Amino acid sequence: MQEWKFSSISFPPLGIEELHLAKEEVADVMVEEVLRFAEEHPQKLEVSIVIPPNDNDVYEAFCSKLMSVKNKLEEKMDYSNMDAMEQQTDVQANAGHERNGPLVELIGHSRESVEEAGLWLRNIIQVEETHRIVIRNSDILRLGPLRNYSHQEGHAEMKSKYCYQITPIESYLQEFKDKEKQLEKAGLQVIKIEKICNPLLESAFQRIKRKIEGKNTGIPVCHRLYHRVPAQYCSLVCKTGFQKAYSSLQDEKYGTGVYFTKNPRNLVDTEEKCEMDHLICLFEADVVTGSYTKGNQSFVAPPVINTSSMKLYDSVVDDIHNPEIFVIFNREQALPLYLLTCSILRNPPQTSSESSAQNL
27-81 pLDDT per residue, tens: 888 888 888 887 777 777 788 888 877 778 888 888 888 887 777 776 666 555 5
The answer to whether residue 245 sits within a structural domain is yes
The answer to the question of residue 320 being in a domain is: yes
Instruction: Collect contacts of 210-217 with beta carbons under 8 A, ≥24 apart.
Output: 212/288, 212/290, 212/314, 212/333, 215/290, 215/311, 216/290, 216/291, 216/314
> DSSP of 157-206, one letter per residue?
---GGGT-EEEEPPTTSHHHHHHHHHHHHTTEEEEEEEEEE-HHHHHHHH
| pLDDT score of 161 | 46
User: Based on the domain organization, do 298 and 188 belong to the same domain?
Assistant: yes
Q: Which of 23, 173, 149 is nearest to 78 (CA)?
A: 149
The secondary element (H helix, E strand) that includes residue 326 is: strand 325-328
* Dist CA 246 CA 137 (whole Å): 8
Same structural domain for residues 122 and 79?
A: no
Per the domain annotation, does 274 fall within a domain? Answer: yes
Judgement on whether residues 66 and 121 belong to the same structural domain of the protein: no
**Residue 53 structural domain:** 1-83
Tell whether 77 and 165 lie within a shared domain: no
The type of residue at 187 is G
- All residue ranges of the chain with pLDDT < 50 are 82, 85-91, 93, 95-97, 142, 160-162, 274, 276, 356-360
Which element (helix H / strand E) includes 75?
helix 56-85
What is the pLDDT, as a whole number, of residue 353?
52
- Domain match, 111 and 175 both: no
What is the DSSP pairing of strand 334-344 with strand 280-288?
Answer: antiparallel
Q: Do both 195 and 265 map to the same domain? A: yes
Q: Which of 31, 326, 360, 63 is nearest to 199 (CA)?
A: 63
Q: How many domains does the chain have?
A: 3
- What DSSP state is assigned to residue 125? H
User: For residue 308, what is the domain's CATH number?
Assistant: 3.90.228.10
Residues 78, 167, single domain; the answer is: no
Residue 315 lies in a domain: yes
My answer on whether 172 and 263 are in the same domain is yes
Q: Are residues 218 and 278 in the same domain?
A: yes
Q: DSSP per residue over 200-256, as a string? A: HHHHHHHHHHHHHHHHSTTS--EEEEEEEE-GGGHHHHHHH---GGGSPP---TT-S
pLDDT at 117 (0 to 100): 75
Q: Is residue 149 part of a domain?
A: no
Residue 294 lies in a domain: yes
52/13 Cα distance (integer angstroms): 9
Task: Identify any residues that bridge with 340 across adjacent strands, giving them in sequence order.
Answer: 193, 282
Return the closest-CA partner of residue 110 out of 93, 96, 87. Answer: 93
The answer to whether the CB of 287 falls within 8 A of the CB of 223 is: yes
Enclosing H/E stretch for 261: strand 258-261
pLDDT of residue 100: 61
In terms of Cα–Cα distance, which of 31, 63, 58, 61 is closest to 47? 31
Last-in-domain residue among 83, 117, 151: 83
Identify whether residues 182 and 272 lie together within a single domain. Answer: yes
Q: pTM above the 0.85 mark? A: no
Regarding whether 118 and 71 lie in a shared domain, the answer is: no
> What is the DSSP pairing of strand 315-317 with strand 325-328?
antiparallel
Whether residue 50 sits in one domain with residue 15: yes
Kindly report, residue by residue over 114-129, the tens digit of the pLDDT: 777 777 677 666 665 5
Task: With beta carbons less than 8 A apart as the criterion, state whether 292 and 320 touch.
Answer: yes
Q: Residue 42 is part of a domain; what is its CATH number? A: 3.40.220.10
Rounded Cα distance, 78 and 160, in Å: 9
